Structure 1
C-alpha cells in the first residue's frame, strides 16, 4: 500500500496514469480504514451450509450466534502455513430442502471457489452437500447425523474400500445409540418391549437396518409397524399395534411435525399412559420441540451430541460449554440448545484442518490433512485415524431427559444428563424419571 501514493509527486511527473494509480491507492487505504489489507489471494473461503428455516430449522436456530463467535475469533486472520490468511465464512440456509442444499453447495464451489466446505445437521442437509463436493473435488467436513446414513447412504459398501476422497464426517453412529439406549433403558424397570417408528428416509432406514437388530440382540423386543412416510398425519394403526403389544418403551427418529402429530394422537388413544420411556431422536433435541407439546413433552427422553456439561473448550474461540450456553442465552433471550456446541465443533475441526494442511490453497493437501486430523473440539475428540471406516470419526451421544425446570428458572424446561456410556468425561446430573413418573 506504500509506493507511489506516499512518495511526493512533482507536477511534471503527475501523468494521468500516475494520478489514477494514486487515487485508487488512496481509495483502497480509506476502504480499509487504516487496517492492514489482505491481497485477494490471501483470502480463504469457507462454506457453511445448515438448515436455518423450514421443518429442520431448530438445527440451525443457533448458527447465527455461533458464526458470529467464529468470525470474531478469525477477525485478525488465520495462521496457517507460516502466514496469516483473511477468512470469509460464507453461510447458507438450505430452508430444510435437500435439493436446495445441493444447489447451494454447487454455487459455493463454482461461483465462490470455496477452499473448504462445512455442512451440519441431518442427511437432508449433509448428503447432497457432500455429494456435490465429492463430485467437484472440494474437501468437505460434516457432523450431526448417524455416520452410517452418511457413509452407506451415499453408496459405500460394507467391507469395501471407501469410495470417498474429499468428504469426511465426524460424530455419533448406531453403535453410540446402542450403548446409550441400553444404558438409559436399563435405568427403569420395563417389560423391554420397544415400539419403534422409523421413517422411510436416510436416518430411519439406517437405524432400522442397524440399531433395531442390535437392540433385539441385547434383549429388547422390537415392535415395528414398518416405515412411515414423512408428513403422515394419521398414526392410528401404529398406535393400535403398540397398545395391543403392550410396549412400555417408545423410540423414533422423526422430524418435529410428525412426532407432534403422533404423540398427540397417542395421548388421545391411550398409548402414552402405558409408556415408561419415550426416547426420541432428531426431534426432542431442542426446547422449542418439547415446549410445543405442552404437558405431553414433560419427561420425554432425548440424547445429546453436545451438552453444556461437556468438559471441553472450543479450539477456535476458547469458550467452554457453560460460557457458550450462557452467552447465547444472554444474547438471544432464548434457552441454550445442543446445536450450539455441535455447530461450533464443526468450525473448530474445520479450522484445525486448515491449520494442519501443508498448503491451504491446495484442495488435495486440505483433504489429506482432514484424513489424519486428531483434535479436541468443544464436543470432544475428533480422530480420523482410528474410525470404524475410512472418512469417519465416531463421537458420543449422551442420554438426556426434559424435565420441569426448578423454581426461579428463566425457562420452563431443564435438560438433564441421565447417563454417559459413550463419554464418561461428561458428568451425569440427574436420575432418569419414568415418562409417567
Structure 2
C-alpha cells in the first residue's frame, strides 16, 4: 500500500522538479539574451607587436581611458546599454588581422574598429564588408584603403559597411609642398615608395602631382618590404643630385636605408629627408642615433591640436601628460589617433537610433559629422563615398631641449590652420 502511494508522489515530484529546472533554464536563457541585447560589443584591432608595433604601443593605455569613460555605459534613444570593447593584436600580420576580424564577427560584435596601416586595416575591412558588420578605421592614406580594396575612380563605391577617415594624398601634397617651400632647394625629389598598398597609392597619385608642381621626381622603382641593400637607390640619388628624399617605408627598412645612405655619403647632400609611415614615433628616430635629428615627418595628430575628446573629455596636453606620468615614456601621435577612432566610433553609436542594429550603426557612420581629439570627422562631405578626409601637419624631429632626447615640433599647418606652428624647418645637412 505504501509503495503504491509513494510511487505517484515520486512521479509528481519528478515532474515538478523537471518543470522547475526547465523554467529556470528558460529564465537563465532569457537573461543571457537580455544581457546581449543590453550590451554593445565593439571589436578593436591594431598591431601591438611585430614590425608595426610602434603604432600599437599606446593602444592599451588609450583603451584603458576609453573603458573608464564607458564604465557606466551609454544611453541611446532612451535605452541604457553596457559597452564592451574586445581588443586584439594582429602581430603586424595581415592574415592574422583577417582571422581576428572573423573571430570577433563570430562573437556578435556590433561595431568593428581597426587602426594603423593597410596591413591591419584592409583585411579587417574586407572581412567586415563580407559579413555585413559596420567598420570604422583610421591611420593610413584613404586612397590605399579605397582604391586598394577595389574601388574604381568615378564609379559608385562598392562598399556598404566599411568607412575610413583621415589623411590622403591631397593632404600629403599640400603639406609637402608647404614644408619643402620653407627651404631653398633644387626641387629634385628622390622617392622611395615600397611595393605595398601605401607605396603603390602614393606613386600613382602623389608623385604625378609633385611633378606637376615643378619638382623633378627621381624614382628608382618600387622596392620590396624587407629589402636589406639600398645601394642602387642611393647611387641614383647621388648621381642626380637630389636635395629632397620622400619615402613611405616601414621602420626597419628606413633604418637600413638611412644608415647605408650615411655610409655612402648621401646624407651630406640632402636638405630635407621627408618620411612617412616611419619617423612617426620617437623610437623610430632614436635608434638612428646622430642620424635622427632634423628628419622631417608629418603628424596626423600632435599634442598641440586644439581639440578635446568627446569620449574622455581630455585634450591633447592632458592625454600626453597622463601617458608620460604613467609610463615614463615620451608621448607619440598615436595616442590621439587611437582616441579619435574611439571618439568617432562611440559618437556613431550615440547617433544611431539602435546600436544593436548593424543597419542603424552603418547609417549613423555614413552621416557622421563630429569633432574628435584629432579634429573634424565629416562623412557628409568626403572626397569619395565612405571616406572623411583629415589633416596631416608638417613636423620635424630636433634635439631635445628638456626631458626627452628628441622633440617633435610643428613646422607648417596648411591642412589645419587651427594647429599652431612652433618652429622653423631646419635643413638636414647643416
Q: TM-score category by the smaller chain?
A: over 0.9
Change (3 A) 1:16 1:322: same
Aligned counterpart, 1:429: 422
Is the aligned partner of 1:114 residue 2:109? yes
| Deviations, residues 364-387 of structure 1 (Å, cap 9, x unaligned) | 111011100000000000000101
Separation in structure 1 between the aligned mates of residue 35 and residue 201 of structure 2, nearest angstrom: 46
Is 2:37–2:356's contact at 8 Å kept on the other side of the alignment?
Answer: no
What count of residue pairs does the alignment treat as equivalent?
Answer: 408
Once the 2 structures are TM-superposed, how far is the Cα of residue 333 of structure 1 from its aligned partner? 0.8
Aligned counterpart, 2:50: 54
3-state DSSP of counterpart to 2:261: helix
Once the 2 structures are TM-superposed, how far is the Cα of residue 79 of structure 1 from its aligned partner? 1.6
Unaligned segments of structure 2, at least 5 residues: 1-15, 26-33
Aligned counterpart, 1:222: 217
Separation in structure 1 between the aligned mates of residue 173 and residue 159 of structure 2, nearest angstrom: 26
Once the 2 structures are TM-superposed, how far is the Cα of residue 410 of structure 1 from its aligned partner? 1.8
Is the aligned partner of 1:313 residue 2:313? no
Is the aligned partner of 1:334 residue 2:334? no
Once the 2 structures are TM-superposed, how far is the Cα of residue 81 of structure 1 from its aligned partner? 2.0
3-state DSSP of counterpart to 1:39: helix
Is the aligned partner of 1:88 residue 2:84? yes
Unaligned segments of structure 1, at least 5 residues: 1-14, 25-37
Alignment of 1:37-436 (within 5 A): 39-110=35-106, 112-406=107-401, 409-436=402-429
Separation in structure 2 between the aligned mates of residue 79 and residue 318 of structure 1, nearest angstrom: 17
Separation in structure 1 between the aligned mates of residue 258 and residue 314 of structure 2, nearest angstrom: 37
3-state DSSP of counterpart to 1:183: helix
Once the 2 structures are TM-superposed, how far is the Cα of residue 17 of structure 1 from its aligned partner? 8.5
Separation in structure 1 between the aligned mates of residue 267 and residue 18 of structure 2, nearest angstrom: 80
Once the 2 structures are TM-superposed, how far is the Cα of residue 39 of structure 1 from its aligned partner? 2.7
Q: Show structure 1 runs of 4+ deviating over 3 A.
A: 15-21
Is 1:81–1:360's contact at 8 Å kept on the other side of the alignment?
Answer: no
3-state DSSP of counterpart to 2:103: helix
**What is the Cα-based RMSD across aligned positions, in Å?**
1.7
Separation in structure 2 between the aligned mates of residue 79 and residue 220 of structure 1, nearest angstrom: 54
| Deviations, residues 296-341 of structure 1 (Å, cap 9, x unaligned) | 0110000000000000000100000000111101111110000000
Separation in structure 2 between the aligned mates of residue 417 and residue 218 of structure 1, nearest angstrom: 23
Once the 2 structures are TM-superposed, how far is the Cα of residue 40 of structure 1 from its aligned partner? 3.2
Is the helix fraction higher in 1 or 2? 2
Larger Rg, first or second structure (1 or 2):
2
Is 1:94–1:104's contact at 8 Å kept on the other side of the alignment?
Answer: yes
Q: TM-score, with normalisation over the residues of structure 2? A: 0.93
Is 1:342–1:379's contact at 8 Å kept on the other side of the alignment?
Answer: yes
